[in-house]
């Protein structure tokens, strides 16, 4: 059975997910802030974290990578198209947060569409879902998908940042996410859990004819 713990972290109320397997190994998705809370949750779950995955490079999703990585010895993985933003810290959130978060390290693993993210007892398929950022990804597995800031409960990610694209975002959602079964649980980067079926029915941004 897969263990799943969700934490709302930082001033932007970002969702950090801790996913563990029956073997005791685990993955942290989007450790954006509050490293101490994340590490306490890992300890409570009795997990050996082998991998940290960022769905994208915005600092509210990677702000605690350095501390979590140093404490666990885990490798850091993200899509290669977001490495430049990570390297320069040049995004909207960095300018707001200033020195209140640590600069994230460079990833050891560069992910691409179709890759598998694996630790003992866990395996997720990488879906490249750009639009909110060039290297945005979603992780699919166990009848669930972790979507970062691509899709929200009755919303979609912002696309008014540098290198973001509304048309690309909608294409990612329609071609990569809306093709999944309605029962698929959706774990977004902010806000409550939803399902693919509920977003197909109720999300106003996904109605026919909507373009950006």
Give the CATH number of the domain where residue 184 resides: 3.60.15.10
pLDDT at 165 over 50: yes
User: Region 2-20: what's the mean pLDDT?
Assistant: 97
Domain range for 64 is: 3-206
Query: Is the CA virtual torsion 62, 67, 72, 75 positive or negative?
Result: positive
- pLDDT over 90 at 12, yes or no: yes
Residue 133 sits at φ, ψ, to 5 deg, of: -150, 160
Confidence band, pLDDT 50/70/90 cuts, at residue 212:
confident
The verdict on residue 137 lying in a domain is yes
In this structure, is residue 211 part of a structural domain? no
Q: Distance (Å, rounded) from C-alpha 176 to C-alpha 114?
A: 11
Could you give the CA distance from residue 115 to residue 189 in angstroms, rounded to a whole number? 21
* C-beta neighbour count of 144 within 10 angstroms: 21
Query: Does a structural domain hold residue 212?
Result: no
Tens of pLDDT along 43-76?
A: 999 999 999 999 999 999 999 999 999 999 999 9
Place of tokens 């395996």: 123
| Cβ atoms of 149 and 56 closer than 8 Å | yes
Token pair of 100 as six digits: 């209140």
Confidence of residue 95 (pLDDT cuts 50, 70, 90): low
Which contacts of 34-40 are long-range, i.e. CB under 8 A and separated by 24 or more positions? Answer: 34/7, 34/9, 34/10, 34/64, 35/64, 35/67, 35/68, 35/71, 37/7, 37/9, 38/7, 38/9, 38/64, 38/68, 39/67, 39/68, 39/71, 39/72
Is the pLDDT assigned to residue 171 strictly greater than 80?
yes
Partnered with residue 78 across adjacent β-strands are: 110
Look over the chain and give the mean of its residue pLDDT values, rounded to a whole number: 93
User: Mean pLDDT across the stretch 94-123?
Assistant: 84
Once rounded to an integer, what is the mean pLDDT over residues 178-201? 98
Residue 93 pLDDT exceeds 90: no
Residue 90 is predicted with a pLDDT of: 47
- In the chain, the number of structural domains is 1
- CB proximity list for 159: less than 8 A, separation 6 or greater: 131, 132, 165, 166, 168, 169, 212
Residue 100 lies in a domain: yes
């Amino acid at each position: 059975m897969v263990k799943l713990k969700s934490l709302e972290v930082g001033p932007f109320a970002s969702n950090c997910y801790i996913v563990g397997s029956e073997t005791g190994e685990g993955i942290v998705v989007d450790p954006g802030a509050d490293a101490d809370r994340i590490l306490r949750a890992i300890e409570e779950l009795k997990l050996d974290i082998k991998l940290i995955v960022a769905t994208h490079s915005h600092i509210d999703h990677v702000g605690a990578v350095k501390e979590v990585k140093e404490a666990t010895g885990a490798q850091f993985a993200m899509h290669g198209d977001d490495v430049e933003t990570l390297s320069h810290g040049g995004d909207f959130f960095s300018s707001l947060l200033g020195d209140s978060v640590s600069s994230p390290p460079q990833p050891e693993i560069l992910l691409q569409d179709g890759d598998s993210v694996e630790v003992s007892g866990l395996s997720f398929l990488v879906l490249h879902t750009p639009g909110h950022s060039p290297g945005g990804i979603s992780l699919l597995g166990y009848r669930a998908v972790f979507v970062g800031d691509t899709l929200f409960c009755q919303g979609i990610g912002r696309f008014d940042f540098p290198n973001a694209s509304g048309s690309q975002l909608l294409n990612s959602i329609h071609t990569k996410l809306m093709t999944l079964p309605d029962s698929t649980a959706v774990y977004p980067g902010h806000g409550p859990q939803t399902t693919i079926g509920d977003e197909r029915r109720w999300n106003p941004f996904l109605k026919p004819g909507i373009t950006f």
